[in-house]
């Protein structure tokens, strides 16, 4: 994904409230083709879900947004940005977090 803007971990894992049944919620912001990004992210997620971490397997729930759509629906993404943990950051992601 050449135009990855950022990845934010959100939900119960980010809040420190997760248990073994919790899924891992990821907000992935891209600045290119969403369809291509979705395929790439799904491939990575499939690989991760096949792995065991401390003997456990986890389910990932990626939410993929383009920077343009994230700006438009920023109020809906505010909870993810407010309580989320940045895993992959960029100047563009920082600006987006500030704007929404």
Q: How much is the pTM?
A: 0.88
Q: CA torsion sign, 76 to 15 to 44 to 46? A: negative
User: What b-and-e string marks burial along 75-92, b requiring 16 or more CB atoms within 10 Å of the CB?
Assistant: eebeebbeebeeeeeeee
pLDDT in tens, the chain (100 residues): 669 999 999 999 999 998 888 899 999 999 988 888 899 999 999 998 888 777 778 899 999 999 999 989 988 999 999 999 999 999 999 999 988 8
The structural domain count of the chain equals: 1
Structural domain boundaries, residue 80: 4-99
CATH code of the domain in which 55 resides:
3.30.460.10
């Amino acid at each position: 994904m050449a135009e990855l803007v950022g990845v934010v971990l959100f939900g119960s894992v980010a809040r420190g409230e997760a248990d073994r049944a919790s899924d891992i919620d990821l907000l992935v912001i891209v600045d290119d083709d969403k369809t291509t990004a979705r395929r790439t992210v799904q491939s990575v997620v499939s690989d991760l879900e096949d792995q065991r971490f401390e003997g456990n397997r986890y389910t990932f729930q990626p939410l993929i947004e383009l920077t343009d759509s994230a700006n438009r629906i920023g109020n809906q993404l505010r909870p993810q940005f407010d309580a989320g943990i940045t895993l992959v950051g960029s100047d563009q992601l920082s600006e987006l977090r500030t704007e929404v």
